[in-house]
Structure 1
Amino acid sequence: MTEADACPPALLALAHAMADAAAEAIRPWFRKRIPIDAKADASPVTVADRDAETVMRRMIECAFPEHGIRGEEFGACRTDAEWVWVLDPIDGTKSFLSGSLAFGTQIALLHHGRPVLGLINQPVTDERWLGRDSIATLNEEPIRTSERTRLDETILYTSALEQFDDAHRSRFASLAANVRFTRFSHDCYAAGLLALGSIDLLLESNVFDYDILPQLPIIEAAGGIVTDWDGRRLVDASRYHAVLMAANEELHRAALEVLRRD
């Protein structure tokens, strides 16, 4: 581990404090009949999303006012700063509104544009995944990705088929035909399951930086591989067209072979 890989203790402490505060803002609304608003892209948003991001942004502004922030609900500020926080208060708002536990708060910390900390917190089950300094943990216990390497033995997850355009839907179907089975609609929780070794492959499309950047340090520190569907490493950008997460390099190569064949 190099000095550039390290996350300062004060920033790690802030990430945990923000996750705790966001959980306090979200839990009172879970499985309640609350108003649902629509954003410009027709995706749903609730008071829980807004309250959780508001409290996290206030904590950053109070502790480190020079830091940048990129949040799903309230946009970006100081994005050219040395340290930039990426916030997704509720990844999986549809799951949250459905009473499903497959949602969570996501936090990433970028240093000169590179993610050095990723956190996924499930506020109801009190499960917290953390990736930083090349270490991945679930509730402070070290975790590793699966060692399965054969496609016909693997479990494939994705959020929803409607996220794919026709070309990506066809490529996804080709991969799904080669695995043991496929599951849908687990949002950020699926990334946690991948890091934990419970599932083996995760395919996403048409996602934003606040969806993926918090997951990157967790998956990679746990031993996984994250690229686009053509095997290229992700770069810091506001939107990613297609993302492939694999438990290990051998499985990543096997998945790419099928995805490229279509």
Structure 2
Amino acid sequence: MTEFESFAVELAAVAAEAALPWFRVDCETEDKGGGRGFDPVTRADRDAEAAIRRRIAERYPHHGVVGEEYGEDRPEAEHVWVLDPVDGTRAFVAGLPLWTTLIALREAGRPRVGVIAQPYLDEIFLGGPSGAVLIARGRTAPIRTRACESLNHAVIATTDPDIFTGSELGAWTQVRAAARLARLGCDAYAYAMLAAGRIDLVAETSLKPWDWSALVPVIEAAGGEVSNWRGETPDDTGQILAVGDAAIRDQALVTLRRAAL
């Protein structure tokens, strides 16, 4: 495990210590939706990101940070940590253990190390130069995406079809109709399951860099691919397609490209 991979795991533990005390208890919650539907933020979100930022400042004061709750600090630095302290805050509020902490290290603009952590389940999915592993309940084991040569055999996921616009929804509906099974409501935990070989495809839209940056190193190190809906490197469009097997990537893109931004 490299120095930065080890530090990413340390940051996941720091976030867990801050967030877990607020899970399944009465937790201070605000609506930041601004009239566009309920978009919660909790004390757990803020406490966890603040704790991560403090640890980064102590260890690597020259590194930049981009986080959902507290914005940007030196985003043009060579090394930038990209943080979503509680991805899936709706699940957190509902007491469902499908929320995650997302931590990525971006080097020269590209995510190189990623962590998808679910502290209530004691799971850390880590991806980077050393490969992809699951650290859970005192054990570390390599993870790998699984083979899936046809979309007709695929298990697919998205957080909620309501996130899609008209044309996007049409594209998702066609992909879903072709797939063997679709699961909803997993947020970033679906990408962890893709890296672990349980899900074959995840498609989403309107994602911010802190939503997708950590996913890229984990999935790529596990043998999968992450792109936008044009089949290119993920970007500010927020449209993300992740696959465990490249064979189904082009099958899905036939439909998704029609709604690509």
- Rounded to whole Å, the distance in 1 between the matches of 2:214 and 2:247 is 24
Partner of 2:25: 32
**CA distance in structure 2 between the partners assigned to 1:71 and 1:261 by the alignment:** 31
Question: What SS does the corresponding residue of 2:256 show, helix, strand or coil?
Answer: helix
Q: How big is each residue's C-alpha offset from its partner over 1:216-236, in whole Å with a ceiling of 9 and x where there is no partner?
A: 00011111111111211224x
* 1:209 paired residue number: 209
Mean CA deviation greater in 16-25 or 87-96: 16-25
Deviation of the 1:260 alpha carbon:
3.8
Amino acid at match of 1:126: D
What letter matches 1:98 in structure 2?
A: A
Give 3-state SS (helix, strand or coil) of 2:162's partner.
helix
Kindly provide the CA deviation profile for residues 56-83 of structure 1, in whole angstroms up to 9, marking residues without a partner as x: 0000111111110001100001111111
CA distance in 2, matches of 1:81, 1:233: 20
Aligned-residue identity in percent? 39
In 2, Cα distance between equivalents of 1:199 and 1:100: 19
SS of the aligned residue for 2:76 comes to coil
TM-score normalised according to structure 1 size:
0.92
- Conserved in 1, the CA contact under 8 Å of 2:9 and 2:124? no
Structure 1 residue aligned with 2:10: 17
Secondary structure at the counterpart of residue 116 of structure 1: strand
Structure 2 Cα separation of the partners of residues 46 and 109 of structure 1:
24
Checking the alignment, whether the CA contact within 8 Å between 1:134 and 1:217 is kept in structure 2 is no
Question: Aligned partners of 2:221 and 2:195: how far apart in 1?
Answer: 8
Question: Is the 1:145–1:196 Cα contact (8 Å) retained in structure 2?
Answer: yes
Instruction: Give, in whole Å, the separation in 1 of the partners of 2:20 and 2:30.
Output: 19
Shift of 1:12: 2.5
1:144-155 equivalences in 2 (<5 Å): 144-155=144-155
| Alignment partners' CA distance in 2, 1:27 and 1:55 | 13
Deviation at 1:40, TM superposition (A): 5.3
Paired residues of 1:93 and 1:103 also in contact (CA < 8 A): yes
What is the alpha-carbon distance in structure 2 between the residues aligned to residue 130 and residue 261 of structure 1? 33
Unaligned runs of 5+ in 2: none
Tell me, yes or no, if structure 1 residue 253 matches structure 2 residue 250. yes
The answer to whether the Cα contact below 8 Å between 1:130 and 1:136 also exists between their aligned partners in 2 is yes
CA RMSD of aligned residues (A): 1.5
Cα separation, partners in 2 of 1:62 and 1:134, compared to 1, 3 Å = closer
How far off is 1:149 after superposition? Answer: 1.3
Q: Deviations over 1:145-167 (max 9, x none)?
A: 11011111111100111111111
Shift of 1:13: 2.7
Residues 165-180 of structure 1 correspond to what in structure 2 (within 5 A)? 165-180=165-180
Change (3 A) 1:257 1:34: same
Deviations 1:32-74 (A, max 9, x none): 1223102255521001000000000000111111110001100
The aligned length equals: 252
Match of 1:240 among 213, 237, 242: 237
8 Å CA contact retained: 1:209, 1:240? no
Offset of residue 242 of structure 1: 1.0
The separation in 1 between residues aligned to 2:14 and 2:83, in whole angstroms, is: 13
Query: Match of 1:141, SS?
Result: strand
The change in CA–CA distance for 1:205 and 1:261 in structure 2 (over 3 A counts) is closer
4+ residue runs of structure 1 moved beyond 4 angstroms? none
Counterpart in the other structure of 1:156: 156
Corresponding position of 1:3: none
* Structure 2 counterpart SS, 1:86: strand
Q: Deviation of residue 14 (structure 1)?
A: 2.1
Give 3-state SS (helix, strand or coil) of 2:226's partner.
strand
- Which residue does 2:220 correspond to in 1? 220
Report SS of the residue matched to 1:124: helix
Residues 1:132 and 2:125 are matched in the alignment: no
State the alpha-carbon separation in 2 of the partners of residues 52 and 23 from structure 1.
7
